Structure 1
C-alpha cells in the first residue's frame, strides 16, 4: 500500500498525535496565527480532516502584541480517562499552559497556566500521577529536558529535575514520554529545527529515569543527506494503531532550488512506520523517509487512502455565517475589520492604517500547501486616495508580496509590492472599473502576480520564492495567501471580497 508525504503539507510544524479507539487526533504549532493550534482527525494517519482549533477565543489567547514567530509553540495532545489534554507554550505571553476538552472538535477550556519555565511541554500519565516534561536551559542551544509532577487542576508543578541532556549536549527539546509493556521510553528532538534536526530515543524502568540512550541514536535524521528531498526530519511523536502497528509523526521540510536550497511552505507533517527491535523503536527500517512510501498496511479499513493531501482546494464564495476553516488571521482579528453580513455573499474588509508591514494589518489567509498552485480573488472596491485592497502572499511583516488596487493622485491603479527585508519595490499600472480580478501563480521557484484588464490577464511582476523562505526570513512559519486591505488618507468604501480560489497542482 502506498501513501505520500507530507501527510499535512504547508506549515504544520511540531506535530503531536494521540489515538482514541480507532480514531487518531493531531495538533500542530500555530505561532502568531489565530485561531491557534489546528486540530485534525484521521482513521488511517494519512487522510486528515480538520476539526477545529484549541484556541478560538481571545480570552484563551491574546496575540495582539506577539512578535512574528512567537506565540504558540509545540503542543502535546493526549487523551486520558475520557478527557483530551493539550499542553503548549505561548511564547511571549502566558508561558506554558494546559487546556482540556471532552470532544476535540468542540469547545476547549480556558487555559490553566503551568508553574514551569521552558518550552515544548509534554504531559504523561502514570497511574494517578501526571508528569510534565519540558525543554529548559539558560540559553539556546544549552537546553536539557526537565521533569516534574503537575497538578492538572491548579497548574502547580513540583520540584523539577533534569532527566536528559541529549546525545550531543545541545538543543535537547520536544520531549515525549511513553510507557510500553512496563518500559518507559523518552523521545526528544535534537540538533535544532533545521537540516541537523533528529529524533533520539532513550528508555528506563521508571518515568523519572535514569534513561539509557538507544545504541542506534538518532532513530530518525536526514542530516548529512543534502540531496534527499525531505530534510530537517525531527520533532517526532509516536502512536500505536488498533492493529498493533506503530507509527511516527514528525516534521520535515521540502527545500527547493538545489543546494543549499530554501523552503517557503514551512515545516510540514510527515509519517513513517516504526518497528520494535530488541526493545528499541526503528523508524522505516532504518532507511530514509521518502515522499512516496510503501507499507504493508495502514490503520483503518482496507481501502486505499486518498493520495492527495487533505489541505487542498479552497473555493470560498462567502455565503455562510463563518469563514472556511482553512482561513486564519495574523494575530487576533479586529471584528470591525471583517464582516460576512455587511454584504451577503462577500467578505467585507475594512482597511486600517496598518499595512502588511505592521502587526495589525487587515489580512486573512490560508496556508500555501503546494509549490505549484494558483490563487485568484475577485474584489469589489472603489478606493479613496491611498486606500488599497487585494491579494497577498505573506511570510511576515518584512517579507511579503501583494497585488492590489489603489488610488494615487486621483487615478485608479493596480499595484504590485515586493517587500524583502529592508527593500521594497512597487509597480503600478492604470486600471478601470470597480470589480477587480487578481491572481498569484506559484511555482517552486517563483511567484507571478497579476490582474485582469478586461479579458486579458496581465502579469505585472515575477519574483523569486526564496525571499519568502525561512532561510531568508528566519521565520518559523511558512507562507500564507489571502486577501488584505489598508486605509488611505481619505474616507473610503470597504473592499468586498466576492470570491477566493486556491487551486493546487497535485505535487504531494
Structure 2
C-alpha cells in the first residue's frame, strides 16, 4: 500500500481553491471574502503539505472592502502561470467587478488591478498551446442573462476582449452553474464547473469539445464529484480545479465541509468550506474521474506524490516581527492607527475604534481561522480601560450578528472581565465580575460542541467563565460562506479608545484526540 494523506489538506475556511504547477512547485489560492489582506496564497512540493506564503491583495488600492457585507468581498480566484508570470483573476463582490493582478513570484509583490469589462463571478484564465488566452466565467448571477458558462478570448496585457462573450455551456441542469476552469488534454478541451450551489447538493460536472469555444458535450457520468445524499463526514464537495503533476498523474483540489461530529444534533458546520485533495483518473474514452467514482475520504492513498514532512498544526504567535504572520487577517480594510507591531515591540497593540464587532465596518481586529474542532487558544492581554465602554479581548467571530467574546472592559468606573454572546437579535452579557489591575490571560477550549472560556491572573489558578455552543455559529444558523475566526479585538463602543490594548501573542493548539 502506498503512503496516505489526510483530508482536508488545508483545514479551516479556505474555500474555492485554485492550483497551478511551476516545475516541481505547486501554488494555491483561496477566497477571502470580507477579510484583509485578500486571497491567501500557499506553496507545496507534494499537494498535501501546504505552507502559507502571503496574500495577493495587500494594499487598499488593490482591495476596497469599505462597507463590505459579510461573505461578500473576494470570491473564487483562479491562479495561473502564463508567459513566465503568475496571473490571478477574481471578483470583488463589494464592487461587483472582476480584475486581474500579476506577479513574477507568487510571494509578491502583486500588481495593481487590471479591471475587466466582464460581468458575473468566478472568472478563470486558460492559455492554449498557440498562446491565445481565454477567460471563462458564469452568467445569470444577477439575472441579467441566461445562467451558464460564458467565454471569450482576452488580451492579458490590456484586459480587452478579442472575441465576443458567448454562452458555451449551460451545465447539466443543476442550479448555479459557476466556477469554470478550462483545460486541454490530448485532442480535447475540458470545461470543469460547479453546480448545485455551494451547499449539501454541491457537485462538479464536466464537458468537452474539440475547440476551446465549444460546442461542448457533457460527460455521460456527471457529476464526477458529489457527496449529496451520502452518509459521509465530508459534505458539499465541489468547485474543483485540476492540475497535472510532473509525473503525468492528475489531481483535483476542491472545497468541502465537515459537519461537526455530534450525534443527534443535525448537520452543522462552523469551520467553513475547506480545501480537499483527490486523485484524478481518466476513463478509456477520455473522461476524468475524481476520487473513487466521485467520492472522497478523510484518509486517501498518496499514490506517487513525493510526500514531505508535515508542518506543525499548532502555532505560537509572538508578534515579534514587523508584519503579521500570513495566517492573520483584519476585518475589512483596517483603519489607520488601529493596530501596530511597533508601538510596543513583541506585542500587538490595538487602538479601539468607534466601530464594534456588531457593525459592518472595520473595528480594530486581528484574527485567524479556526482549523480544528478541538483546539485551545490563549492570549495575554495588558489593557487598562480609561473610560466606560472601552473593551478588548478574545472573540469567536462568525459575522457581525453571531459571535462570542471574553474580554476586559470598564463598567461604572470599575474594571471588569466579562463573557458576552451575540446571536442574531439576541445579545447578552452572560457573566461579569470585577477585575484587579494587571495583565490577564484569556482563553478558550473548543470541541465539536462547545467553546469553554476561561481566564487566569498571573500566579493564580485558572477560572472557568462560561460556554458557547458551536452550532450557533454554524453556517446553518448564522448563514454566510465563511468559517469561524478566532480574533483579538478592541473597541470604544462609539468612541475612540483612550487606552491601547496590548496582546502578547496568540497561542493556537490543535488538541484533536
* Range of TM-score over shorter length: over 0.9
1:187 paired with 2:188, answer no
Q: Which residue of 2 aligns with 1:91?
A: 93
Distance 1:133 1:375 in 2: 42
1:467 paired with 2:472, answer yes
Q: Which residue of 1 aligns with 2:282?
A: 276
Q: Which residue of 2 aligns with 1:110?
A: 112
Q: Which residue of 2 aligns with 1:433?
A: 437
Equivalences for residues 227-266 of structure 1 within 5 A: 227-256=231-260, 257-258=262-263, 260-266=266-272
Equivalences for residues 52-451 of structure 1 within 5 A: 52-93=54-95, 95-126=97-128, 127-137=130-140, 139=142, 143-157=147-161, 158-225=163-230, 227-256=231-260, 257-258=262-263, 260-277=266-283, 278-286=285-293, 288-298=295-305, 300=306, 304-306=307-309, 310=311, 312-358=313-359, 359-384=361-386, 385-426=388-429, 427-451=431-455
Q: Which runs of 5+ in 2 are unaligned?
A: none
Asked whether the equivalents of residues 144 and 170 of structure 1 are also in contact (C-alpha less than 8 Å), the reply is: no
| SS in structure 1 of the partner of residue 292 of structure 2 | helix
Distance 1:135 1:458 in 2: 52
Asked whether the equivalents of residues 314 and 326 of structure 1 are also in contact (C-alpha less than 8 Å), the reply is: no
Normalising by structure 2, we get a TM-score of 0.94
Asked whether the equivalents of residues 311 and 369 of structure 1 are also in contact (C-alpha less than 8 Å), the reply is: no
Distance 2:505 2:109 in 1: 29
| SS in structure 2 of the partner of residue 472 of structure 1 | helix
| SS in structure 2 of the partner of residue 467 of structure 1 | helix
Distance 1:500 1:83 in 2: 36
Closer/same/farther in 2, CA of residues 72 and 209 from structure 1, 3 Å limit: same
Asked whether the equivalents of residues 142 and 169 of structure 1 are also in contact (C-alpha less than 8 Å), the reply is: no
Asked whether the equivalents of residues 39 and 53 of structure 1 are also in contact (C-alpha less than 8 Å), the reply is: yes
Distance 2:353 2:83 in 1: 47
- Per-residue CA deviations over 1:450-474 (Å, capped at 9, x if unaligned) read 2114522222221110111111111
The CA RMSD measured in Å over matched residues stands at 1.7
Distance 1:288 1:435 in 2: 50
Closer/same/farther in 2, CA of residues 328 and 195 from structure 1, 3 Å limit: same
Q: CA deviation at 1:305?
A: 3.8
Normalising by structure 1, we get a TM-score of 0.95
Deviates more, 1:49-58 or 1:148-157: 148-157
Distance 1:57 1:491 in 2: 26
* Number of aligned positions between the proteins: 500
| SS in structure 2 of the partner of residue 285 of structure 1 | coil
Asked whether the equivalents of residues 139 and 149 of structure 2 are also in contact (C-alpha less than 8 Å), the reply is: yes
Deviates more, 1:490-499 or 1:32-41: 490-499
- Per-residue CA deviations over 1:56-113 (Å, capped at 9, x if unaligned) read 1111111122111111000111111201111100002161101111111121110101
